[in-house]
């Protein structure tokens, strides 16, 4: 494309909240036929709210909340903010945690009052030796409602379930509809569980769902789609999305997300409005049409 037409396209994007960092993204987008989207923070608001606290005896609800929130204070994950805020709202005490450790796509751990606390998904529980079939199936029932359910373990033993609900962004259904109308396939990738992913995906008509995926899996799935002949755009907001954003033919970051995601993407949707994806594709078509 000529520098002039790229400038015009970039300017139009900017006035629509679509920041186009690379000319290549604008040139390539018209050929995109698969859009891969992350769930948390991309399809959903990413500002989840605490919705479930289910302690396992001898722990009480307020003890479970104290432990969970005290560990999550060290995390920047949207799930962490939900747990800390929810715990404060319910009057739970927050304690000092040491030896904090975060495992991307799995959860967090720390030491509180000489006890080792772990909080996260099933992979995290397997890691600390607290995986238990009974509680996994209990978690599944809440997940089918669309909640993200996490396990809390204390010294390698199950201590309770914490669930958060993350509403779908108001603009998401229109965004998916616009992509479908232009013949684009929409694939969801999430580190969240299958049951939660299915509940969310069914509400908005996602074509293909990959759940329980690690950050490396996200990257691999994008690569596999490319190998099968698709031109792939990937939209995401998190550190865990960065490798896949870089791998995609067009990477799209949510401006409401992490800096790492924005650095890895050619396009940023300033307000995190996913309708910008279909708009950016149309902008690319118009730009390339002008040049031919
Ligand atoms: P997504 O791909 O949907 O943005 P992530 O890959 O960030 O989700 O997280 C995947 C899963 O890992 C979460 O659903 C949660 O179960 C667990 N997890 C990640 N970070 C945390 C955390 N700070 N606290 C508790 N659980 C976490
Ligand atoms: Mg995310």
CA 121 / ligand 1 centre spacing (Å): 7
Say whether both 161 and 175 belong to one domain.
no
CB-CB contact of 49 with 164 (8 Å): yes
Range of the domain at 110: 49-165
Token pair of 192 as six digits: 């969240």
**Whether residue 273 has its Cβ less than 6 Å from ligand 1:** no
pLDDT tens, N- to C-terminus, the chain (292 residues): 678 899 999 999 999 999 999 999 999 999 999 999 999 999 999 889 999 999 999 999 999 999 999 999 999 888 999 999 999 999 999 999 999 999 998 999 999 999 999 999 999 999 999 999 999 999 999 999 999 999 999 999 999 999 999 999 999 999 999 999 999 999 999 999 999 999 999 999 999 999 999 988 999 999 999 999 999 999 999 999 999 999 999 999 999 999 999 999 999 999 999 999 999 999 999 999 887 7
What is the distance between the alpha carbons of residues 34 and 67, in angstroms, rounded to a whole number? Answer: 42
Number of domains in the chain: 2
* Residue positions counted in the chain: 292
Query: Ligand 1: which atom is nearest the Cα of residue 42?
Result: 4
Say whether both 153 and 17 belong to one domain.
no
Quote the distance between the C-alpha of residue 155 and its chain's center. 29
Write down the ipTM of this complex.
0.92
Beta strands in 147-249 (DSSP E): 148-154, 157-165, 185-189, 208-210, 232-236
Kindly list the strands in the beta sheet with 115-120, ordered across the sheet, starting from the edge strand earlier in the chain. Answer: 49-55, 157-165, 148-154, 115-120, 107-112, 98-103
CA 11 / ligand 2 centre spacing (Å): 28
Residue 135: CATH number of its domain: 3.40.1110.10
Say whether both 37 and 180 belong to one domain.
yes
Burial (CB < 10 A; 0-12, 13-18, 19+), residue 57, is exposed
The last residue of one of the domains, among 109, 140, 165, is: 165
Ligand lying closest to the C-alpha of residue 45:
2
Say whether both 15 and 150 belong to one domain.
no
Residues with CB under 5 A from ligand 2 (ion): 38, 40-41, 237-238
Q: What are phi and psi of 149, to 5 degrees?
A: -110, 130
155 is known as an active-site residue: no
Residue 285: CATH number of its domain: 3.40.50.1000
**Whether residue 120 has its Cβ less than 6 Å from ligand 1:** yes
User: Would strands 185-189 and 157-165 be described as parallel, antiparallel, or unpaired?
Assistant: unpaired
Say whether both 34 and 67 belong to one domain.
no
Rg, C-alpha atoms of the chain: 20
**Whether residue 42 has its Cβ less than 6 Å from ligand 1:** no
């Amino acid at each position: 494309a000529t520098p002039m037409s790229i400038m015009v396209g970039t300017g139009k994007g900017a006035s629509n909240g679509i920041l186009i960092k690379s000319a290549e993204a604008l040139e390539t987008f018209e050929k995109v036929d698969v859009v891969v989207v992350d769930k948390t923070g991309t399809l959903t608001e990413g500002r989840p709210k605490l919705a479930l606290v289910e302690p396992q005896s001898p722990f009480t609800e307020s003890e479970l909340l104290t432990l969970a929130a005290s560990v999550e204070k060290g995390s920047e994950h949207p799930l962490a903010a939900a747990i800390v805020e929810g715990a404060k709202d319910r009057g739970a005490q927050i304690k000092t945690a040491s030896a904090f450790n975060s495992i991307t796509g799995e959860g967090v751990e720390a030491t509180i009052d000489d006890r080792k606390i772990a909080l996260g998904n099933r992979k995290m529980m397997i890691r600390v030796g607290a995986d238990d079939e009974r509680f996994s199936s209990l978690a599944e029932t809440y997940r089918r409602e669309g909640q993200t359910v996490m396990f809390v373990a204390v010294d390698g033993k199950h201590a309770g379930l914490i669930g958060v609900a993350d509403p779908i962004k108001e603009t998401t259904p229109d965004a998916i509809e616009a992509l479908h109308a232009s013949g684009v396939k929409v694939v969801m990738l999430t580190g969240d569980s299958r049951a939660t992913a299915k509940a969310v995906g069914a509400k908005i008509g996602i074509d293909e769902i990959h759940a329980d995926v690690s950050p490396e899996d996200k990257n691999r799935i994008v690569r596999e789609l490319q190998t099968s002949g698709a031109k792939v755009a990937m939209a995401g907001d998190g550190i865990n999305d960065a490798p896949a954003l870089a791998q995609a033919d067009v990477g799209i970051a949510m401006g409401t997300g992490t800096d790492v995601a924005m650095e890895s993407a050619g396009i940023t949707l300033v307000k995190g409005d996913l309708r910008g994806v279909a708009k950016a594709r149309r902008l690319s078509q118009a730009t390339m049409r002008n040049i031919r």
